Amino acid sequence: MVWGWKHISADQRKDPEHLKASYRTSDELGTTMSTSTPMKRQYSELKKQYPDCLLMFRLGDFFELFNEDAKTASHVLDIVLTSRGEGVDKWPMCGVPFHAAEGYVAKLLQAGYTVAIAEQVEDPAKAKGLVKRDIVRVITPGTVLEPSMLQETANNFLVALVEHEGKVGLAAVDVSTGEFIATQFEGTMTGEKTLNELARLTPSEILIPESVSRKAEKSALENTGARLTPRNDLDFSSSSADERLREQFHVSTLEGYGLRDLKAAIGAAGAVLAYVQEVHRTNAPTLTGIRSFTVEDFMVVDSITQRNLELVRNARDGTLRGTLLSVLSATVTSMGKRKLKQWMLQPLRNPHEIEMRLDSVDELARNGLVRQGLIDSFRQLGDLERMTSRIAFGAATAKDLVTLKDTLGRLPSAKKALEDCSSQVLKTAAESIDLLSDLRATLQSAVVDDPPATIREGGMICQGYSKELDDLKASISSDKKWIASLQERERRRTGIRTLKVGYNKVFGYYIEVSHANLSMIPDDYERKQTLTGGERFITPELKEKEASVLSCEDRINELEYEIYEGLRSKVQVHTSALHRDSDAIAVVDVVAALADVAVKRRYVRPRISTSTRIKITNGRHPALEMMLGPNEFVPNSLDIGEGGTTLLIVTGPNMAGKSTYMRQAALIVLMAQMGSFVPAKDADIGLVDRIFTRVGAFDDLTARQSTFMVEMIETANILNNATEKSLVILDEIGRGTSTFDGMALAWAVAEQIVMMRTRTLFATHFHQLTEMAKLYHGVKNVHTLARESGDVIVFLHKVAEGGTDRSYGVHVAALAGVPEPVVKRAKEMLLRLERENVVELGFRADASGEALQTSLEPLTVDDPLIERILNMDLERTTPLDALTRLKDIQEEIRQRKT
């Protein structure tokens, strides 16, 4: 991490006071720490500007925190709380060594704090009085650049939201990669659409206008897991935002970015930019442009569906194991890994764009040599995207320059491999790779191969790059040689054979002589330090050489730093080109990965259409088939939509493969629309605008709230938002309540879905639902096959036509060792309940399926009373007559009861 502090000067290195207290001079701190000390005044000034941040104040080799900040930090970081000063002026204090600050800052961010870094901004050696300090950076979760605080495989988005005339403006930036996007849509800040976009972007920080202080909105946004940061409303105003953005991109209008008249989007983008500029205290050099998009471009994959389909995290332990991402992640670069995740979480809806991606995957799948060549040439690439941003922000070290140089060195072979490709996506990528050969040559000649992690201590620049630097190094080396040979010379001159020449940080160079030989020292030795075993001396000549070495070292370090800064600005000029390079590499990396997986796993290219038919022949679950042994996975087919079946009711015993069957359908659709081949023998995919998935309470192990309530909220959401273009997966909804409640709800939901004509796979253990197929057009039953022999059942995992009325729960109980009499009794009860259920719900309907009437069990009792009632001629009975007869019947029944 480089926050731009000045390094300790040579003078300080020699100053024992400094090393002891880590402060440049004792008057900075003041002996009493009264408010009148300059340091304390300086601190208070800075703290006033950033009252909400933990202020880390650079003092020598430490970052110190004071007062409330110190109490908080010592608690969070588990470091000792000390204090400075006396009485009322006693300040609580704690500190961390500057070279280890990054880890501590990361912890503070994680704990929900924002950190402001106050650095020395002038050379302490040259400062008169107190060293000037200023805030060089504010570190927030959404704006970090340090690799240790970022996830390699995920973007780190900062999002801004604003509402403007019924529209939501949303902008997102990843300063670590330079990606900057904006959109607007109808809705509210916490509406469905907004939350879906947030689920896709998973930002670590969200900016909202200060005036939005409604609690409900705040908590809805905080539920996304992001830090909420209120900002001045003015930052979001479209006019000031427009100007800010134009200035940043050096353009006279934002039209070229497709942002014309998108006031809400511009407002949000402006707020993002203002914030980045403020916390980085620069004009955000990595942000060289913005991309507008519309949410309709992408298939909606909300957070619940992400979870249910186990796209990036599995349901069991939250890791990658068993996820779609783990199946597809054959990418080899960091930017490719992030891009793959983006493609997966935002599948496309435009058939043309999907076909373009599929064409490129197809090409690399067919051409194994080119594919392997690309993968090999990418394997060694550094994180070009983030490297570029660190360099642009001035947060890079010389190591970054070396990695950049190496990465640029590998571009020609990648570009060459791509030049033979004919698909549009790959050709475009090849064209946009700028080799930047001059830049590479400069870096090659300027930076040593293994520079130190610091940028203020020299050792970075090659010999031959700067004459001035070479001269300085030559002169220092002659002085050093002189010092190196001093020991030998002095031993000869004094005759003391144990005499030693040494160096120590506090005292500098010295000549050490043991007590026994003190009588032999020459006159020009000046005593410097007394040790237990001897004395240390210095000579005027050694003093002179030492001063020369130290000042020369300072000058060398300074010059190296200047050269480094020059190189850095040379790189900065190419920020846009470097971002284009890394984007091209990312795309090719993802395409190559998808092709590689397609070949290895025998996926096929899906046919994409705008019809609503989804026809999958012998589809497989991409993650499960990998976890099972070869040929253990049983493929299954599906055909829904386009005038045929829209609601598929899936029944079958537990553990027979219902959930797997439905999820694999959703995964195959999602894979197709992200541009991937799919695990099937053949697939026609009628484009899907959104995948909804709801999993019943019992299957949903992660749910913590009232599971049934959650289930119903989610179901309501589907009924309100699904369209004919959506795909809905309902997995055993209605389990969280009583049987009849649940069955009635499941039935009603299914009926509604039939009306909506939304393609739906509905697994249920309420086999009464299979009746629907008789009542409604577009409903079909399938069931998972199980073979039963005696009390043993074998799940075949094969999906077959027709419903099943068996749940095999009793068989499973027997298998599990439930005692025989209990199983027997359960079987009897099952039969009885099944009969009664029909009576209870009485699902009967006429051909139109509209009237659902209640049927009665046949009367089995012969009774003259019943005959009499049946024989009444109601046509000729007046109401009064009827009442009189009813009264008679009541009377008779009462008499017979007693």
Q: Rounded CA gap, 37 and 43, in Å?
A: 10
Number of Cβ within a 10 Å radius of residue 702: 9
Angle, helices 658-674 vs 334-345, to 10°: value is 110
Q: Considering beta carbons, is residue 634 or 733 the nearer one to ligand ADP?
A: 634
**Choosing among Mg ion, ligand ADP, none, which partner's interface includes residue 244 (Cβ < 5 to 8 Å by kind)?**
none
Q: How far is the CB of 636 from ligand ADP (least distance, A)?
A: 6
Q: How far is the CB of 572 from ligand ADP (least distance, A)?
A: 53
Q: Check residue 78 and report its DSSP letter.
A: T
Closest CA to 461 of 566, 306, 319: 566
**Choosing among Mg ion, ligand ADP, none, which partner's interface includes residue 797 (Cβ < 5 to 8 Å by kind)?**
ligand ADP
CB 49 within 8 A of CB 58: no
Asked whether position 657 contacts ligand ADP by CB under 6 A, the answer is yes
**Choosing among Mg ion, ligand ADP, none, which partner's interface includes residue 656 (Cβ < 5 to 8 Å by kind)?**
ligand ADP
Closest CA to 650 of 422, 491, 802, 426: 802
Name 403's Cβ contacts closer than 8 Å, sequence gap at least 6: 382, 383, 387
Which one of 466, 659, 760, 764 is in contact with Mg ion (CB under 5 A)?
A: 659
Q: Rounded CA gap, 619 and 613, in Å?
A: 15
Asked whether position 766 contacts ligand ADP by CB under 6 A, the answer is no
Q: Rounded CA gap, 446 and 564, in Å?
A: 9
Q: How far is the CB of 344 from Mg ion (least distance, A)?
A: 23
Asked whether position 633 contacts ligand ADP by CB under 6 A, the answer is yes
The one segment of 54-62, 200-208, 653-661, 790-798 that binds Mg ion by CB under 5 A? 653-661
Asked whether position 308 contacts Mg ion by CB under 5 A, the answer is no
For residue 870, give Cα distances in angstroms to 149, 329, 853, 875, 881. Answer: 84, 75, 21, 13, 16
Instruction: Scan residues 810-869 and list those touching ligand ADP (CB under 6 A).
Output: none
Closest CA to 301 of 328, 268, 341, 335: 341
Closest CA to 152 of 335, 327, 387: 335
Q: Rounded CA gap, 845 and 851, in Å?
A: 5
Q: How far is the CB of 736 from ligand ADP (least distance, A)?
A: 16
The one segment of 55-63, 391-399, 625-633, 859-867 that binds ligand ADP by CB under 6 A? 625-633
**639: β partners:** 615
Q: Considering beta carbons, is residue 659 or 758 the nearer one to Mg ion?
A: 659
Q: Rounded CA gap, 120 and 118, in Å?
A: 7
| Residue linked to tokens 């679950």 | 621
Q: Rounded CA gap, 94 and 76, in Å?
A: 12
Say how many residues touch Mg ion, by CB under 5 A. Answer: 1
Q: Rounded CA gap, 349 and 883, in Å?
A: 68
The one segment of 334-342, 651-659, 766-774, 868-876 that binds ligand ADP by CB under 6 A? 651-659
Which one of 614, 656, 772, 775 is in contact with ligand ADP (CB under 6 A)?
A: 656
Q: Considering beta carbons, is residue 436 or 649 the nearer one to ligand ADP?
A: 649
Note the helical H segments in 26-139.
Answer: 26-29, 38-49, 67-77, 101-110
Q: Considering beta carbons, is residue 552 or 746 the nearer one to ligand ADP?
A: 746
Q: How far is the CB of 646 from ligand ADP (least distance, A)?
A: 21
Q: Considering beta carbons, is residue 429 or 662 the nearer one to Mg ion?
A: 662
Q: Rounded CA gap, 235 and 209, in Å?
A: 8
Q: Residues 686-705 vs ligand ADP: string with x where CB under 6 A?
A: --------------------
Q: Residues 781-800 vs ligand ADP: string with x where CB under 6 A?
A: ---x------------x---
CB 395 within 8 A of CB 145: yes
Instruction: Scan residues 355-394 and list those touching Mg ion (CB under 5 A).
Output: none
- State the residue number with the nearest CB to ligand ADP: 657
Asked whether position 664 contacts Mg ion by CB under 5 A, the answer is no
The one segment of 421-429, 505-513, 633-641, 830-838 that binds ligand ADP by CB under 6 A? 633-641
Which one of 634, 683, 727, 730 is in contact with ligand ADP (CB under 6 A)?
A: 634
Q: Considering beta carbons, is residue 231 or 797 the nearer one to ligand ADP?
A: 797
Q: Check residue 461 and report its DSSP letter.
A: B
Asked whether position 660 contacts ligand ADP by CB under 6 A, the answer is yes
Q: How far is the CB of 315 from ligand ADP (least distance, A)?
A: 11
Asked whether position 659 contacts ligand ADP by CB under 6 A, the answer is yes
Supply 156's token pair: 């780190």
| Residue linked to tokens 């795909």 | 727
Count the alpha carbons within 13 Å of 404 in the hemisphere toward its beta carbon: 36
Per CB under 5 A, residues contacting Mg ion are 659
Interacting residue ranges for ligand ADP, rule: CB under 6 A: 628, 632-634, 636, 652, 654-660, 784, 797
